[in-house]
């Protein structure tokens, strides 16, 4: 979803299961997170950045071989990194911010905590520096990210405006192409 406002910025909403990458100083990515996690990556030397928004860390066992579901962190982290590499970024220069991972409803599975732990572990395995995180708690967050500069604004959201928790997303094959996991 694209919103051109009077401030001259192109505001792009990054929904669950999506990622975006840009080097344009006029782009700003935004999302609202509950138990989901958003990763913001920035390569300062390339003036390039990207954001993803994932629902769960990885598929439960039993997912049919060959199907890719875009709601999972394991897929979206790889896609975000690969797209940044294709647009001139270098992994050794990337800096990460993590947001979300709230456990919005007491008594439900701690999906937010699992998402946060997955994201931290993934970045550690990939050798990408985690420079800022705002994870956990009981409140949703509204996030705005300017990918070219790496600037981020994160605000807490009132409980009434928080996204509804989703226990399991539907499994949908990727629309096109293959994903190379590295």
Specify the CATH number of the domain 2-161: 3.30.1330.200
SS3 16: coil
Mean pLDDT, to the nearest integer, of 42-65? 86
Percent helix, strand, coil in the chain, to 5, is 20, 35, 45
pLDDT, tens digit, for every residue of 119-157? Answer: 999 999 999 999 999 999 999 999 999 999 999 999 998
Q: How confident is the model at residue 104 (pLDDT cuts 50, 70, 90)?
A: confident
Domains in the chain: boundaries: 2-161
Mean pLDDT, to the nearest integer, of 80-85? 98
Instruction: Give the DSSP letter string of 157-169.
Output: E-GGGSPPP-SSP
Res 181: pLDDT? 47
> Pick the residue with more confidence: 176 or 10?
10
Res 125: pLDDT? 97
pLDDT, tens digit, for every residue of 54-72? Answer: 999 988 765 555 566 778 9
- 170 pLDDT exceeds 80? no
Res 172: pLDDT? 46
> Pick the residue with more confidence: 163 or 147?
147
Distances (CA, A) of 55 to 10, 38, 58, 168: 25, 9, 9, 8
Q: Please report, rounded to a whole number, the percentage of residues in the chain having pLDDT higher than 90.
A: 69
């Amino acid at each position: 979803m694209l919103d051109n406002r009077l401030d001259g910025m192109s505001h792009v909403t990054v929904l669950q299961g999506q990622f975006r990458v840009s080097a344009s100083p006029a782009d700003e990515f935004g999302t609202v997170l509950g138990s989901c996690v958003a990763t913001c990556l920035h390569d300062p030397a390339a003036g390039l950045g990207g954001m993803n928004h994932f629902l769960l860390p990885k598929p439960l066992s039993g997912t049919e071989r060959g199907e890719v579901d875009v709601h999972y962190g394991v897929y979206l982290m790889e896609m975000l990194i690969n797209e940044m590499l294709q647009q001139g970024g270098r992994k050794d220069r990337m800096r990460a911010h993590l947001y979300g991972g709230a456990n919005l409803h007491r008594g439900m599975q701690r999906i937010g905590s699992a998402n946060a732990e997955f994201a931290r572990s993934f970045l550690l395995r990939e050798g990408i520096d985690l420079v800022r995180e705002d994870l956990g708690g009981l409140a949703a967050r509204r996030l705005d990210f300017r990918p070219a500069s790496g600037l981020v604004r994160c605000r807490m959201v009132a409980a009434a405006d928080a996204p509804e928790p989703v226990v399991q997303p539907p499994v949908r094959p990727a629309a096109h192409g293959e994903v190379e996991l590295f």
